[in-house]
Amino acid sequence: MENKRIVTGDRPTGRLHIGHYFGSLVNRVKLQDKYETYILVADVQALTDNFNNPEKVRKNVRELVIDYLSCGIDPKKSTIYIQSMIPETAELTVFYSNLVTIARLQRNPTVKTEIAQKKELFGESVTYGFLGYPVSQAADITVLDGEIVPAGEDQEPLIEQCREIVRKFNSIYGEVLKEPQIYLSENKRIKGLDGNDKMGKSLGNAIYISDSPEEITKKIMGAVTDPARIKKDDPGNPDICMVSYYHKLFSSEDECKTICEECKAGKRGCVACKKQLAKNTIEFLRPMREKREYLEAHPEIVDEILKEGTAKAKKEAEKTMKKVKKAMKLGY
């Protein structure tokens, strides 16, 4: 294991779908064998756009952790902790807020995109908490001396802002903080069953890790196929078919080759193709679903993992804040 620390995490805003699995979770499972890994459940950040529904956030904390564990995150290798239980993060956020201008936050491309997406919630009145969440995120990373942050390309502006904050802090108070590096995922974003580039609950186009076999089958049977293919024996175009797209995720290479050839020759109908995909998807997700069901039936396991993980993270955060306060002449 390399002597470097990863800090990463997610907002608890709902169940994780296969887009999350093939995107961030596969990487985290691999990286936990290589680096010291901390994974935060960002419940405070979730409140920036769910401030009027705290019960939803609280419920989703458990759902998120269960999904993590079901997908292969090992609490013996990765420390899972709750953001709101680390008061040092909030304290560091306050200090950082003096180093970042409102104009700089408003220019952040990721923030601009998310504000546009949340216009129905905020209207023209964006809250300070939402606008400033990149500052809080910088505190999340640096309070644990994070050196590597696994993330997608859309998160690059946030990590760069974190790096700017670290440089500004160190230029004033001395070389106290580590400047993190982004670890870009090689995996591409998974499209929705409807062909949309984004997969999500609000779009109704996602397969969730927790979905039952019946739910998976129903969703796949409604997936978008080649619109020009009317009859079963019409030649199809697998390149524009979402069923073919998903076969590449859940079926073997030989199966994909056969399916593609038969589709183009009009020898395989869409119904048969979808049924095979549903069968393969159910089998692929079965171990995760079974582990999820076990953890749901044993909540004490999840509670203990969070208790131990949060206690460990807090000790590391306390060490960082001791250095920060000393540098800032606040070590009374």
Q: Say which amino acid occupies 121.
A: L
Total Cβ atoms within 10 A of residue 331: 11
Nearest to 15 by CA among 59, 49, 46, 52: 59
Contact 83, 45 (CB under 8 A): yes
Rounded to whole angstroms, the Cα distance separating 182 from 203 reads 29
Which stretches of the chain drop beneath a pLDDT of 50? none
Rounded to whole angstroms, the Cα distance separating 246 from 116 reads 30
On the CB side of 68, CA atoms within 13 Å amount to: 28
Residue 324: the pLDDT is: 97
Rounded to whole angstroms, the Cα distance separating 18 from 208 reads 6
Contact 164, 156 (CB under 8 A): no
Rounded to whole angstroms, the Cα distance separating 75 from 209 reads 19
Rounded to whole angstroms, the Cα distance separating 331 from 109 reads 36
- Residue entry with tokens 């952040």: 108
What are the tens digits of pLDDT across the range 43-82? 999 998 888 889 999 999 999 999 999 999 999 999 999 9
Q: What residues have CB less than 8 Å from 283, skipping those under 6 apart?
A: none
Which whole-number Å values give the CA distances from 12 to 101, 138, 169, 207, 260, in the listed order?
Answer: 28, 18, 30, 17, 38
Query: 41: helix, coil or strand?
Result: strand
DSSP secondary structure, 197-244, as one string = SS--TTTT---BTT--HHHHHHHHHT----TT--STTS---GGG-HHH
Contact 180, 147 (CB under 8 A): yes
Residue 121: the pLDDT is: 67
Residue 72: the pLDDT is: 95
Residue 1: the pLDDT is: 62
Total Cβ atoms within 10 A of residue 321: 20
Q: What residues have CB less than 8 Å from 318, skipping those under 6 apart?
A: 88
Q: How far is CA 117 from the centre of its chain?
A: 17
Contact 45, 11 (CB under 8 A): yes
Rounded to whole angstroms, the Cα distance separating 262 from 133 reads 50
Domains and CATH numbers, the chain: 5-190+299-327 (3.40.50.620), 213-292 (1.10.240.10)
